[in-house]
């Protein structure tokens, strides 16, 4: 039986620390979110919103131009670029720290071309978060993964499509073997989400059915992107993002039967401020 470690608040409190006074947006990372076709614009808006509210220094969304106005109506802080404009992406991608690809991307020919462009342009030093439709495309087209730091964020059906392991057979042993074959980190999303990285397995301890609404996973990609973009320890940043997304939902769920993805994003800055205030003494037993 493999050992699973618990993701708890102390990891988050050690990760989200007060910002140094003499810093600027360039110190907190530039995130690119790629996705959102003509039908699923909401998915990339939710991912991008979480990246902005999660504290990334600069955030750009590469999406279908039909989403530009609706995105800006909710999120003037984000920049936008046409996700089929290869010349623009060629200029932009090398300047990024973290790239999210997949929320609402769809799986048609245009989506595949966009994903191939991202895979061609991503650099080894960057972090690439592969979610939703992009996982389905990698699985269906048997795409070769780029040489970079990859985080997959599948739900159990996307994980089945990627690995062939049916949900009932998704044991820690089988999941870890599949993760190691992929040479990637895996966030396997479910009631108690599991994180597979290197030879470690972590399990979330918070989160509940108030999260069972379209866009919760899209939002998680943005939280992960913002955290790995701005915090030094990338592994703790990933675990902290998984915990924070669920813990905010639990807190909101005291007064909300369902916690809408945009509610979680809007609560990120205050939750992070609370975490950053914890002193080492406070952290014991929190």
Ligand X SMILES: NC(=O)C1=CN([C@@H]2O[C@H](COP(=O)(O)OP(=O)(O)OC[C@H]3O[C@@H](n4cnc5c(N)ncnc54)[C@H](OP(=O)(O)O)[C@@H]3O)[C@@H](O)[C@H]2O)[C@@H](O)CC1
Ligand Y SMILES: Nc1ncnc2c1ncn2[C@@H]1O[C@H](COP(=O)(O)OP(=O)(O)O)[C@@H](O)[C@H]1O
What stretches of the chain show up as alpha helix (H) in DSSP? 9-15, 41-53, 68-74, 86-92, 109-121, 132-141, 156-163, 172-182, 216-230, 234-253, 261-277, 280-283
Q: Is 194 helix (H, G, I), strand (E, B) or coil?
A: strand
Q: Does position 54 bind Mg ion by CB under 5 A?
A: no
Q: Does position 261 bind Mg ion by CB under 5 A?
A: no
| Least separation in angstroms between CB 249 and ligand Y | 8
| Least separation in angstroms between CB 122 and ligand Y | 22
Residues 108-137 that bind Mg ion (CB under 5 A): 132
Residues 158-197 that bind ligand Y (CB under 6 A): 189-191, 193
Among 41, 53, 10, residue whose Cα is nearest residue 264: 53
Which of 217, 241, 247, 248 lies at the binding interface for Mg ion (CB under 5 A)? 217
207 binds, among Mg ion, ligand X, ligand Y, none (CB under 5 to 8 A by kind): ligand Y
Q: Is 69 helix (H, G, I), strand (E, B) or coil?
A: helix
174 binds, among ligand X, Mg ion, ligand Y, none (CB under 5 to 8 A by kind): none
Residues 250-279 that bind ligand X (CB under 6 A): none
**Biggest CA pair distance of the chain:** 54
**CB nearer to ligand Y: pick between 86 and 107:** 107
Among 225, 261, 259, 254, residue whose Cα is nearest residue 240: 225
Q: Is 128 helix (H, G, I), strand (E, B) or coil?
A: strand
Q: Which residues bind ligand Y (CB under 6 A)?
A: 132, 155, 189-191, 193, 207-209, 211-212, 214-218, 220
């Amino acid at each position: 039986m493999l050992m699973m470690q618990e993701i708890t608040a102390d990891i988050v409190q050690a990760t989200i620390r007060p910002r140094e006074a003499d810093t600027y947006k360039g110190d907190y990372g530039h995130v690119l979110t790629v996705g959102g076709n003509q039908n699923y614009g909401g998915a990339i808006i939710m991912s991008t919103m979480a990246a902005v509210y999660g504290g990334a220094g600069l955030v750009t969304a590469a999406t279908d131009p039909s989403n530009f106005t609706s995105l800006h109506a909710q999120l003037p802080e984000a920049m936008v670029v046409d996700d089929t404009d290869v010349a623009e992406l060629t200029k932009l991608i090398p300047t990024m720290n973290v790239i999210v690809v997949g929320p609402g991307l769809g799986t048609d020919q245009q989506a595949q071309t966009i994903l191939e462009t991202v895979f061609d342009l991503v650099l080894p030093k960057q972090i690439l978060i592969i979610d939703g439709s992009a996982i389905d495309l990698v699985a269906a087209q048997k795409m070769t993964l780029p040489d970079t730091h990859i985080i997959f964020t599948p739900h159990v059906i996307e994980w089945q499509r990627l690995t062939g392991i049916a949900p009932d057979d998704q044991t820690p042993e089988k999941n870890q073997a599949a993760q190691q074959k992929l040479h990637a980190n895996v966030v396997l999303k479910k009631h108690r989400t599991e994180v597979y990285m290197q030879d470690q397995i972590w399990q979330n301890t918070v989160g509940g059915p108030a999260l069972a609404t379209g866009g919760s996973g899209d939002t998680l990609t943005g939280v992960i992107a913002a955290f790995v973009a701005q915090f030094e320890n990338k592994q703790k940043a990933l675990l902290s993002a998984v915990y924070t997304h669920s813990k905010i939902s639990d807190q909101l769920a005291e007064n909300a039967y369902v916690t809408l993805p945009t509610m979680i994003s809007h609560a990120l800055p205050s939750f992070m401020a609370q975490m950053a205030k914890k002193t080492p003494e406070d952290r014991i037993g929190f």
